[in-house]
Amino acid sequence: MKKKLLGKTAVVTGGGTGIGKAIAKQFAQHGADVFILGRRMEILKSVRSEFEKIDLKITAFKCDVSSESDVKEFFTNHISPNGKLDILVNNAAVFYRKTLMDTNTKEFINMSNVNFLGVFLMIKNAVPFLEKNPESNIINISSVAGCIPPQGQNVYGSTKAAINHMTKGLAVELGPKGIKVNAIAPGPVNTPVWDTIAPDIDEQTKLKDMLRKKIPIGRIGEVEDISLWAMNIVSPDNTWMTGCILNIDGGRGLVT
């Protein structure tokens, strides 16, 4: 494998599970120095050990992206010393599959803080480092729920729609600084979040079967479907794409 990210430094939030973990692995396989951030250190340590067994090195840090002090502490202690940052992936998210009327205020605030405020805080602190390196990249992990209004995802989808808008605005704002900003909007993907959405296996199976019928490709996505495109975005071969929302969703966003 040609290692396209040798000498690059990447930060992936929500890097302990699912899509974030897959992206971190993809970047590490291509030679990047990868930092993974998350709120549960025990999970991050487990991922670090798992990667070490296949000769991939990552660095794990406990960081709540919705906490300004946590975010500032990370950048001050771990990025500032050498000032090196080329890639930021904002993947951390909170999801409740609920209608607006069933969503309580605490859940609303939690989704808003992690899914949107967290992206704002990470980008604001990352830009002074990203702008020092030519051809740097920001990837925001959005959702098909931010592009269409799937049932039971109104509040969550609204936070992702906000990310889509921010992505386009920042592409204009940060382009002159040499920073490309894009978003990936996945459809339903097999990740541990399913155990939270539908703890009962029978219920989970029924939900997945229902969703498959709304996906033209006919299957739930895998994390590798998303990490592949994250790699394509940050590849040195990609020099002109910015402000794009990539719907990697098996066609889910085309079906009402």
**CA atoms within a 13 Å half-sphere pointing along the CA-CB vector of 218:** 0
What are the helix (H) ranges across the chain? Answer: 18-29, 41-52, 68-74, 105-112, 118-130, 154-174, 193-197, 201-212, 223-234
Phi/psi at 121 (5° precision): -65, -45
Phi/psi at 183 (5° precision): -130, 150
DSSP code string of 20-71: HHHHHHHHHHTT-EEEEEES-HHHHHHHHHHHHTTT--EEEEE--TT-HHHH
Per the CB < 8 A criterion, the answer to whether 229 and 23 are in contact is no
> Is 156 assigned a catalytic role?
yes
- Helix or strand holding residue 138 (H, E): strand 136-141
| Contact partners, residue 176, CB within 8 Å, separation at least 6 | none
| Active-site annotation holder among 51, 74, 156, 229 | 156
Task: Name the residues annotated as catalytic.
Answer: 156
